[in-house]
A = this chain, B = another copy of it.
Amino acid sequence: MTTLTSPPRQQVVRIARHPEGAPRADDFRLDEDVVPRPSAGELRVRVDCLSIDPYLRALLGARYLTARPPVGAVVPGTGLCTVVESGDPGFAPGDLVVGDCGWRETAALPAAAVRRVDPGLAPPTTALGVLGIPGLTAWAGLRTIARPRAGDTVLVSTAAGAVGSLAGQLARRDGARPVGIAGGPDKCRLAVTEFGYAACVDYRAKDFEAQLRATCPDGIDVYFDNVGGRVLEAAIGLLRKHARVVLCGLIDQYNAAQRPPGPNLGPVIGTRATLTGLVVYDHLDRLPDFLAEVAPGVRDGSIRWREDVRRGLAAAPQAFVDLMRGANVGKLLVRVDGTPATGRSG
Contacts and interface: CB of A to CB of B under 8 A. Distances in A.
Interface of A: 63, 65, 228, 232, 247-250, 253, 259-266, 268-279, 282
A270 to B, nearest CB: 6
A247 to B, nearest CB: 5
> What 5 pairs between A and B have smallest CB-CB spacing?
A261-B261, A269-B277, A259-B264, A275-B275, A268-B277
A261 B264 CA distance: 5
Contacts of A272: 276-279, 282
19 contacts: A63-B266, A228-B265, A232-B265, A247-B268, A247-B269, A250-B265, A250-B266, A250-B269, A253-B266, A261-B264, A262-B263, A268-B275, A269-B278, A270-B277, A270-B279, A271-B277, A272-B278, A274-B277, A275-B275
A260 B263 CA distance: 8
A308 B275 CA distance: 36
Contacts of A271: 277
Contacts of A247: 265, 268-269
Contact of A262 (B248, B249, B265, B277): B265
A232 B273 CA distance: 17
A250 B277 CA distance: 22
Contacts of A260: 261, 264
A254 to B, nearest CB: 10
Number of copies: 2
A259 B228 CA distance: 18
B273 A274 contact: no
A60 to B, nearest CB: 15
Nearest to A265: B262
Contacts of A63: 266
A262 to B, nearest CB: 5
A232 B269 CA distance: 14
A272 B141 CA distance: 11
A249 B265 CA distance: 10
Contacts of A250: 265-266, 269
A274 B263 CA distance: 16
A230 to B, nearest CB: 11
A287 B275 CA distance: 26
Given A247-B268, A261-B261, A262-B264, A276 B279 contact: no
Contacts of A264: 253, 259-262
B261 A263 contact: yes
A250 B266 CA distance: 7
Contacts of A262: 261-265
Nearest to A275: B275
Contacts of A268: 247, 275-277
A248 B263 contact: no
Contacts of A275: 265, 268, 274-276
A118 B33 CA distance: 81
A10 to B, nearest CB: 34
A87 to B, nearest CB: 34
A249 B264 CA distance: 12
